[in-house]
C-alpha cells in the first residue's frame, strides 16, 4: 500500500515534468507574433519578387516573338520595294504599294511594341533590384528579431534536455509494472498519463466516478485508473503532500 502511494506521487511528479517538456516543445514550435509577422512579410516579399520575375519572363518571351516579327516584316518590305521597280502595269503597281504599306505598318507596330516591352522589362528589373536592397535599419531590426528567437529556442532545447534527464532518474524509482503502465499511457494518451479527480470526476475525460471508486482514489493505497479514459487517477492534494 505504501509503495503504491509512493509510486503515485512519483508518477504525479513525472507527469508535471512531462507537461513542462510538452509546453517547452509547443513554445519551440510556435514562433512569437513578431517572428511570425517577419516570416509572413518575408514570404510576401518573396512571392512578390517571384511574380515580378515571372512577368519579366513573359515579356522576354513576347519580345522574342516581336523581334522575329520585326525581322519578317523588314524582309517583306525589302522584297516588295525591289518588286516595285519591276512592275509593268498600274494593277501590279497598286498591289505592290499595298503590300509595302502593310509591311511598313507591321514593322512600325512591332517596333513600338518592342520599345514598350523593353521599357517594361527595364522597369521591372529596377523594381526587383530596389526590393532586394533592404534598408539598413530594417535589416538590423529583422536580424535582432531572428537572433532573439534563436536564443529562446536554444534556451528551450537546453531546458528540455535537463528535464528529460531528470525523468530517467525518477522513472527508475518506480516499480517496473507501474513504470511500464505510466509510460504506455503517456504514449497512448497524448502525453497525459495522469488525471486529477475534481469534484468526483476525471478532470480530463469528465467521467463521473462511482462513490466507492472515489474512496479508493482518496485512500491512495492502490493504482486506480479511470473507467472511461484509463488514465491513472489521483487527488490534487496528493501532489502537494511532502514525501
What does the pLDDT look like over 56-82, one tens digit per residue? 999 999 999 999 999 999 999 999 999
In this model, does residue 243 exceed pLDDT 60? no
Residue 74 lies inside a defined structural domain of this protein:
yes
Same domain, 39 and 128: yes
DSSP code, position 87: -
For residues 116 and 177, membership in a common domain is answered with no
The residue segments making up the domain with residue 52 are: 33-133
> How much is the pTM?
0.64
| Number of domains making up the chain | 2
**231 and 170 in a common domain:** yes
Tell me phi and psi for residue 201, to 5 degrees.
Answer: -130, 155
> Could you tell me if 96 and 24 lie in one domain?
no
- Tell me, yes or no, whether 167 lies in a domain: yes
Cα–Cα distance, 184 to 11 (Å, whole number): 13
Q: Is the domain of 128 the same as that of 89?
A: yes
Look at residue 139 in the predicted model and tell me its pLDDT.
73
- A 10 A CB-CB count for 135 gives 8
Would you state the cell numbers that stand for residue 176, as one nine-digit string?
Answer: 517496473
Q: Which residue has the higher pLDDT, 131 or 64?
A: 64
- Does residue 119 sit in the same domain as residue 165? no
The residue from 133, 165, 194 where one domain ends is: 133
Residues 118 and 160 occupy one common structural domain: no
Span of 62-66, 130-134, 214-218 with lowest mean pLDDT = 130-134
Does residue 198 lie in a domain region?
yes
Same domain, 159 and 109: no
Residue 112, pLDDT above cutoff 60: yes
What is the pLDDT, as a whole number, of residue 182?
96
Residue 14 forms part of a structural domain: yes
Give 174-187 pLDDT, tens digit per residue: 999 999 999 999 99
Query: Is 23 contained in some domain?
Result: yes
The answer to whether the beta carbons of residues 128 and 52 sit under 8 Å apart is yes
Element (H, E) at 195: strand 194-198
Q: Are residues 131 and 45 in contact, defined by beta-carbon separation less than 8 angstroms? A: yes
CA dist 49 and 43 (Å) reads 10
Which long-range contacts link 37-41 to residues 24+ away (Cβ below 8 Å)? Answer: 38/142, 38/145, 38/146
H or E segment and range at residue 23: helix 2-29
Q: Do both 91 and 53 map to the same domain?
A: yes
C-alpha cell at 209: 466516478
3-class DSSP assignment, residue 202: strand
Reply yes or no on whether the pLDDT at 2 is more than 80. Answer: no
Lowest-confidence pick of 109-113, 131-135, 141-145: 131-135
| 144 domain residue, yes or no | no
Does residue 213 have a pLDDT over 80?
yes
Contacts of 161 (CB under 8 A, 6+ apart): none
Residue 7 domain flag: yes
CATH code at 182? Answer: 1.10.287.1490
SS3 136: helix
* 158 and 228 co-located in one domain: yes
Amino acid at each position: 500500500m505504501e509503495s503504491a502511494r509512493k509510486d503515485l506521487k512519483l508518477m504525479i511528479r513525472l507527469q508535471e515534468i512531462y507537461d513542462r517538456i510538452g509546453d517547452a516543445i509547443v513554445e519551440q514550435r510556435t514562433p512569437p507574433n513578431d517572428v511570425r509577422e517577419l516570416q509572413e512579410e518575408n514570404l510576401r516579399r518573396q512571392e512578390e519578387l517571384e511574380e515580378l520575375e515571372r512577368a519579366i519572363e513573359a515579356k522576354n518571351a513576347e519580345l522574342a516573338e516581336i523581334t522575329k516579327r520585326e525581322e519578317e516584316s523588314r524582309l517583306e518590305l525589302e522584297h516588295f520595294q525591289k518588286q516595285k521597280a519591276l512592275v509593268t502595269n498600274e494593277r501590279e503597281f497598286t498591289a505592290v504599294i499595298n503590300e509595302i504599306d502593310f509591311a511598313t505598318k507591321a514593322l512600325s507596330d512591332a517596333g513600338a511594341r518592342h520599345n514598350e516591352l523593353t521599357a517594361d522589362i527595364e522597369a521591372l528589373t529596377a523594381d526587383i533590384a530596389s526590393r532586394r536592397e533592404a534598408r539598413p535599419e530594417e535589416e538590423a531590426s529583422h536580424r535582432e528579431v531572428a537572433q532573439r528567437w534563436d536564443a529562446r529556442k536554444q534556451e528551450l532545447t537546453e531546458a528540455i534536455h535537463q528535464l528529460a534527464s531528470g525523468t530517467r532518474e525518477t522513472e527508475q524509482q518506480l516499480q517496473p509494472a507501474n513504470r511500464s503502465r505510466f509510460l504506455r499511457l503517456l504514449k497512448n494518451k497524448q502525453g497525459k498519463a495522469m488525471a486529477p479527480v475534481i469534484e468526483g470526476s476525471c478532470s480530463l475525460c469528465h467521467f463521473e466516478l462511482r462513490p466507492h471508486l472515489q474512496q479508493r482514489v482518496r485512500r491512495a493505497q492502490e493504482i486506480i485508473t479511470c473507467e472511461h479514459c484509463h488514465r491513472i487517477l489521483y487527488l490534487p492534494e496528493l501532489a502537494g503532500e511532502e514525501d
